[in-house]
Amino acid sequence: MRHSRDLTKGSVPKNLWFLAWPQMVEGVFNSLDQMVDLFWAGRVIGFRAIGGIGVAQAYAHLVMMARTGLDIAMQAMISRAVGAGRMDTANHIALQGLTVTIILSSVLAVAGVLAAKPLLDLLALSDEVIAVTIVYLQYQFAGSAVQGWRKSAEATLQAAGDVLTPMKATLLARSLHIVITPFLIFGWFGAPEMGIAGAAAANIIAQAVGFVWNMYALFAGSAPLRLTLRGYRLDVPLMGRMLKIGLPASGTQLERGLSELMLVRLVAPFGDIALAAYALTRRLERLTHIGSMGMGRASGILVGQNLGAGSIERAKSTVRWAVGYVLVIRGFAGIVLLLAPAFFILIFNQDPAFLVVAIIWIRIQAVSGMLLGGGQVLQQSFNVAGDTMAPLLITFMSMWVLEVPAAFLLSQFTPLGQYGIPVAIGLAMFLRLALYALYYRTGRWTRVKVL
User: What residue spans of 268-340 are helical by DSSP H?
Assistant: 272-287, 290-308, 312-339
Domain that holds residue 174: 12-447
Q: Alpha-carbon distance 54 to 247, whole Å? A: 26
Query: Is 165 a domain residue?
Result: yes
Mean pLDDT of the chain: 86
Average of pLDDT values for 108-117?
91
**Amino acid 1: pLDDT:** 42
First-to-final CA distance of the chain: 29
**Amino acid 2: pLDDT:** 47
Query: Is 5 a domain residue?
Result: no
DSSP state of 194: -
Give, to the nearest 10 degrees, the angle between helix 12-44 and helix 164-186: 0
More confident residue, 258 or 423: 423
Query: Is 343 a domain residue?
Result: yes
Q: How far is CA 78 from CA 73, 89, 226, 310, in A?
A: 8, 8, 13, 15
Query: Is 268 a domain residue?
Result: yes
Query: Is 250 a domain residue?
Result: yes
Record the pTM: 0.73
Query: Is 3 a domain residue?
Result: no
Query: Is 6 a domain residue?
Result: no
Query: Is 251 a domain residue?
Result: yes
For the stretch 368-404, pLDDT in tens is: 777 778 888 898 888 877 788 899 899 999 999 999 9
Is residue 54 within 8 A of residue 38, CB to CB? The reply is yes
Contacts for 101 with CB less than 8 Å, ≥ 6 apart: 67, 70, 71, 148, 149, 152
To which H or E segment does residue 351 belong? Answer: none
For the stretch 296-345, pLDDT in tens is: 878 888 888 888 888 889 989 999 999 998 888 888 888 888 898 899 88
Q: How many domains does the chain have?
A: 1
